[in-house]
Amino acid sequence: MGQLRDRMEADLKLAGYSPSTCKIYLLYARLYTKHHMRSPAEMGEEEIRQYLLHMVEGRKISRETYRQIRAALTFLYTITLKRPTEVAYLPVRRKNVKLPVVLSGTEVQALIEAIHSPKYRAIVMAQYAGGLRISEACRLRPEDIDSKRMVIHIRAGKGGRDRYTVLSERLLAFLRDYFRKHRPEGWLFPGQTNTGHVTPEAARRVFRAAVNSAGISKPVTPHVLRHCFATHLLESGVDIAVLRTLLGHASLRATEVYTHVSVEHIGRVQSPLDLLGTPAAKLLG
């Protein structure tokens, strides 16, 4: 893509996209160019549709990958190439709602205990204790842990939004012990990287090893800890609006998926069949 790539990268930075989003958008723009062996400036709606169809039928991509490719090409043509009509009518794939996998409290405990490194155990504990995404946990700084107000300050989360989430007493005690022994500077979880903090990729490797050691057979990734946080809080009676704030969801609709996951909530609902023949049956008319 040459100069076009540089211009797109500059546009993404000016628009305030995160480094990870910039990387993904530039990757999909490059793959689109490579597929047709032509510059995007020489192509338009027909080539975009052909590429998307190839990815759906040939590569069997997921809805999320389709969404990212569509978003990348929409940015490329709308902003960088100033040709919004080329992407104005690209289909949006229908969403198939899949319930997230959730671990039991016992499984979460076994997972935590299977991690022997204090740094990586603290990352996993932070994810579960506060509903953090793995990238958010890796980027924590000591000053983000507010023990006076018992909150964790999440900076530049998804969409560049800051938020606060709950600080667990147990996590706080573990972090204090970790800090006294290791005295991290700058980042709470430092790593030998350009950024200075441990990478999500390194944390994922430790997580996968812990899953195997704990004997967990469910298909899980570190993001399951965020699902567990949300589901377990909902089961304990936390209001869904509060949960939305803790998770940093822009819309309540994103949080509502956990109402379908909460087995405890479902189990507390009384079937109308059980009401037949009781005084409460009068309410049924």
Question: Which residues have a catalytic role annotated?
Answer: 133, 158, 223, 226, 249, 258
Instruction: Centre a 10 Å sphere on the Cβ of residue 104 and count the other Cβ atoms it contains.
Output: 13
Q: CA–CA separation, 155 vs 136, rounded Å?
A: 8
Q: CA–CA separation, 233 vs 105, rounded Å?
A: 11
Closest CA to 245 of 151, 171, 172, 173: 151
Task: Provide the token pair at 26.
Answer: 């530039």
Q: CA–CA separation, 243 vs 257, rounded Å?
A: 12
Written in H, E and C, the secondary structure of 152-185 is EEECCCHHHCCEEEECCHHHHHHHHHHHHHHCCC
Amino acid at 177: D
User: N- to C-terminal Cα distance for the chain?
Assistant: 69
